[in-house]
Homo-oligomer: A and B are copies of this chain.
Amino acid sequence: MQITSEALERAVEQLAKLPGTGRKSARRIAMYLLKQNKEAVFELADALKELKTSVIRCSQCGTVSDTDPCRICGSPKRSAHQICVVEEFQDVYFIEKTNEFRGRYHVLGGVISPMENIGPDNIRIKELIERVGESGEEIREVILALNPDAEGEATAYYIHKLLKPFDVEVTRIAYGIPMGSDLEYIDEATLSRAFASRNAI
């Protein structure tokens, strides 16, 4: 076959690297962009460049931000008594969406995983311990909101141990049956956990 535009093929090549985008969707997107006006395409391209030029990490909590400290760490409306520990910066977004938590965050940037050669020193655990230690007694609760898998459990256990010397309550978000689901479709591990963590009503 004859390729008529190398530039088009290059765009398809680049778009096909995005997650969830195969070569067919990449081509559909490139052809769609070709039909848009120049301003619209440049706006998209510039927004993507801005991701790498203006988005930084908050030096306190480690989440993505345009400012340092981030708007959550810098806000007087957010409680300094509670720190929610998450694995990745996107978890901050997912938790914020619930409007449930009014404290601050701490992004670990991963979890302990001997399989992937990630030890406690490779993620921001030391920073968390320092943050708790340096806060005096301002930080009263550390909520662990890690993924319920082996690595998340191990990391939670490790952090819990390191926080023992401090006068801080360590809690973990509840694992159990997701809302709106059907017992029939819940795996056994989740169901067992839901039983073990049952609450008085």
- A-to-B contact residues, CB < 8 Å: 1-8, 10-11, 13-15, 17-21, 25, 27-34, 36, 38, 40-55, 58, 63-66, 70-72, 75, 78, 89-90, 92-93, 96-99
Q: Determine if B47 and A5 form an interchain contact, defined as CB atoms under 8 angstroms apart.
A: no
**A1 to chain B: which residues have CB within 8 Å?**
96-99
**A72 to chain B: which residues have CB within 8 Å?**
2, 4
Closest residue of chain B to A43, judged by CB? B14
* This protein's copies in its complex: 2
Main secondary structure of the interface of A (DSSP, over half): helix
- For this complex, 17 residue pairs linking A to B, each with C-beta atoms less than 8 Å apart, are A2-B78, A3-B71, A4-B92, A4-B93, A5-B64, A8-B55, A11-B51, A15-B47, A18-B29, A19-B28, A19-B29, A20-B28, A30-B51, A33-B48, A33-B52, A41-B52, A45-B49
Q: How far is the CB of A42 from chain B (nearest CB, A)?
A: 6
Q: Determine if A5 and B52 form an interchain contact, defined as CB atoms under 8 angstroms apart.
A: no
Q: Determine if B96 and A8 form an interchain contact, defined as CB atoms under 8 angstroms apart.
A: no
**A20 to chain B: which residues have CB within 8 Å?**
25, 28-29
**A31 to chain B: which residues have CB within 8 Å?**
89-90
